[in-house]
Amino acid sequence: MNNTPYVAREPDADGFIHYPQAEHEVWHTLISRQLKVVEGRACQEYLDGIEQLGLPLERIPQLGELNRVLEQATGWRVVRVPALIPFQTFFALLASKQFPVATFIRRPEELDYLQEPDLFHEVFGHCPLLTNPWFAEFTHTYGKLGLQASKEERVYLARLYWMTIEFGLVDTAQGRRIYGGGILSSPKETLYSLSDQPEHQAFDPLDAMRTPYRIDILQPLYFVLPELKRLFELAHEDIMGLVQQAMRLGLHAPKFPPKAA
């Protein structure tokens, strides 16, 4: 799991991370481009979060700056982690209202797609919605459940996370919008997800848990929430009961070709 060329940057004694100018420039390119693309496509709660966080355009934000806003809004914090972390660590952090951020940013030659979640994906994709109490509550509950779950149950929980927090869409009075961080941090997927190319399906947590996915392709299917508050309601339902049911029923047929050997 650790074969990544990226290494998370270490903070100094004061907790300040010194990024080279070239990395600030990558951040500037990514955020300037993506702010234009998400306009009219991201859900309002996400855009409100972007405004609250006040992300700088010219430089990579420090985690402490984000924490001042998040702690006040929902009691969440972001914490620095290495490039990839084990499931156990991931769930433990979410269960304690801490969102992991790997402190490295993609290289210029990988601007459009990076397999491992970098600082831009985590901060731009996920942090804005952590200012929203509904989204924050679901993420917190998800962490607590994952911490207690068996290895097999976690695989079903991971599919639920993928189909919501990473690649979820939501219906709004203004039309269909994006809230998933995996989409919102990708210019290509932002445009593609709302086009008529992929399939859109009304959100059903049981179906989401039974739907296979691949991380290295544009998603063939997106689940659509009736409203963002549905996540808050789901946090108070018997998610592990649904996991058991999904395990009994088994997986749906994949909507994508097998990976080439």
Per the annotation, binding residues are: 121, 126, 166
Measured CA to CA, the distance from residue 155 to residue 210 in angstroms comes to: 10
Residues with a catalytic annotation lie at 121, 126, 166, 185
**Which residues belong to the annotated binding site for Fe cation?**
121, 126, 166
Contact 177, 216 (CB under 8 A): no
Non-local (6+) Cβ contacts of 248 within 8 A are none
E strands, the chain, in order:
77-81, 98-102, 169-172, 175-178, 199-202, 221-225
Nearest residue to 33 (alpha-carbon basis) of 49, 59, 66, 57: 57
Query: Residue written as tokens 């339902």?
Result: 237
Measured CA to CA, the distance from residue 8 to residue 238 in angstroms comes to: 37
Instruction: Give the 3-state DSSP-derived string for 157-185, with helices as H, strands as E and coil as C.
Output: HHHHHHHHHHCCEEEECCEEEECCHHHHC
